[in-house]
Amino acid sequence: MHRRFIQQKRFQSSSTKNLIPIRTSLKGAALLQQPVLNKGSAFSREEREVFQVDGHIPYDVHSLEKQMVRAYAQFKRQPSNILKHAFLASLRDQNQVLFYALVSNRLKEMLPVLYTPTVGEAVSQYSDLFRRPIGCFLSLPTAHSMKEQLQSHANAAFRYKYPPGMKNHFLDQDRPFDIVVVTDSEGILGIGDQGVGGISISTSKAALYVAGAGVDPNRILSVVLDVGTDNHALFANPLYMGYKHVRTRGVAYDHFVHQFMMNIKELFPGALVHFEDFGLNNAARLLETYKPVLPCFNDDIEGTGAVALAATMSAIGVTKSNLADQRIVVFGAGTAGMGIANQIRDAMVEIDGLTLEEANSKFWCIDKDGLLLKSNPKLQGSQHDYARDDEEVRDWNREIQEQPNLRLLDVVKAVKPTMLVGCSTNARAFNEEVIRTMAEHVERPIIFPMSNPTSLVEVDPADANEWTDGRALIATGSPFPPAKNPITGKDYFIAEANNALIYPGLGLGTIASRSSKMSKGMILAGVRALASVSPALEDPDAPLLPDLAGVRKVSLQVAAAVVKQAMEEGVANINIKKDDDAIIEHIKVGMWDPVYRPLEYEPEDSNGYSSK
């Protein structure tokens, strides 16, 4: 039996009036230790008496709003971002509603702490900072009991149960989880293999589904697949908590992942699997393998590509050009770089009618060995699609004549790109000569230094703005302050092409449509919805993407576009009208808000929780 509580509609206020109560048998200290039910100082006088909370907390009753004031002051007093991250994690573990209320109201400020760049530090120090396990840890040595481990998490999950009038709603399903965020920790945020510490990536991504799109936090399962690690620093750390073994690869790895995916399909049918930070050798391969089997999504490939495509569509809206007109240099041909190229290429095919080969020819991709060429024996996955003919580049000038590989400046001089994308984590690779050379041939150069964290970004936006005389259209993967236009003196606000603008809405739309897949068409529909709310469409000097502070509204628009596309493709499993108002209302009803619901006592059942 699942632990359950009831919600009838979406509420905008923290008032408990008209809210259907949660029933529980927990009392006193046991109640305070349950983060889903704990209200701290916000327990009402009646609740304190009924649930024997008096004596366990101070006398005065505080509102959620007052609790948020206190929590924010505590957050601000933390002397470093990693300690702020630890504070937020501790708050989440104590009081779920207060944590999400605080983060949702200050998401733009707290996102760099909750997620990139700070989460990279939290991941690398996971075993040293460990306090309490959050999420699901599936380790190779205990694979024989994987199904039971997942079922244990399902048994402990809270789940909304809607009244009879809500039948066929997307939350009215016999499964405890709608989204499973999973990593194998091999390709973490430019810092590589981090073993069991990758669970912090999964939990941070899950938190953004909640704060950014109103997905119920109790219907998201965060998972790390611990198959060992090749990180020698982790082996040397006596406090390391993961599987101390070289990273498992090949058939054994594939079997472990397949076992996981089939268990998800059986135990949580229809749940969306969100792949996060898998290594280059596995990310695209696993996505391709399991896309036809169950709803799945790779944020590094599809999410990064989707938000970059949205920024690109906004940029060409400013330049009044087409996708097919672009000459795109991608610097960093790994998972993220290939994901961006694939998304933009597929949009060229879908929107501009190019053939796949024609669209591929619009890209010049560079990895650590230089421009991808067909003669390169090291090509992997999507890199084959974009490798150039050796004959094409035979007569190109080289920055270093005796150097056989074509470097970034060589490619920029020869190609004269309209768009430059960085996913290399090669700090300051887009130097002044590269940017000025590009700007000589393009009126509004499109420059996307997407690498995280900020210390590894390919170019500071202020420099790119300066070197292009304020003509560049810029989006970055991390937040940056405004850049001063060197000609007009006007501030140019830098668009943050953060995946948080797109993936929460894509996920919400997929589960809201009860879709059997997340198709390319659904992702493109979400991208178009995001691009349609670009401030740059109203003001060419405004950011290419909306502000993260309004991500929840953006996610609703993205989700609505995804639901509509799923219905048109015939992969949705809902029975509503295919008009915008009906779709928006359908989604709104199921969005979770961080508000305190009244508690009612019920004698203990097998789990300690029940519902009417």
Residues known to be catalytic: 115, 205
The H or E element that residue 554 is part of is helix 551-569
Rounded to the nearest 10 degrees, how much is the dihedral formed by the CA atoms of 203, 208, 211, 212?
A: -160
> Considering all CA atoms of the chain, what is the largest pairwise distance in Å, rounded to the nearest integer?
84
Q: Distance of CA 525 to CAs 45, 498, 520, Å?
A: 49, 18, 9
Q: Is the peptide bond before 79 cis (omega within 30 degrees of 0)?
A: no
Instruction: Tell me how crowded residue 394 is: count the other CB atoms within 10 A of its CB.
Output: 7
Distance between terminal CA atoms of the chain?
14
Secondary structure class of 22 (helix, strand, coil)? strand
Identify the sign of the CA torsion 260, 265, 268, 271. Answer: positive
Strand arrangement, sheet containing 22-24: 599-601, 22-24, 609-610
Tell me: is residue 276 an annotated ligand-binding position. Answer: yes
Tell me: is residue 452 an annotated ligand-binding position. Answer: yes
DSSP 210-225: HHHH---GGGEEEEEE
Whether 607 contacts 29, CB under 8 Å = no
Give strand pairing partners of 388: 373
Angle between helices 280-290 and 250-267 (to 10 degrees): 40
Tokens found for residue 94: 């104590």
Whether 332 contacts 422, CB under 8 Å = yes
**Nearest residue to 495 via CA among 457, 444, 448, 553:** 448
Whether 468 contacts 421, CB under 8 Å = no
Tell me: is residue 277 an annotated ligand-binding position. Answer: yes
The H or E element that residue 182 is part of is strand 179-183
Tell me: is residue 300 an annotated ligand-binding position. Answer: yes
Cα–Cα distance, 5 to 36 (Å, whole number): 10
Secondary structure class of 419 (helix, strand, coil)? strand
Q: What are phi and psi of 2, to 5 degrees?
A: -85, 150
Where is the binding site for a divalent metal cation, in residues? 276-277, 300
Where is the binding site, in residues? 276-277, 300, 452, 498
Where is the binding site for (S)-malate, in residues? 452, 498
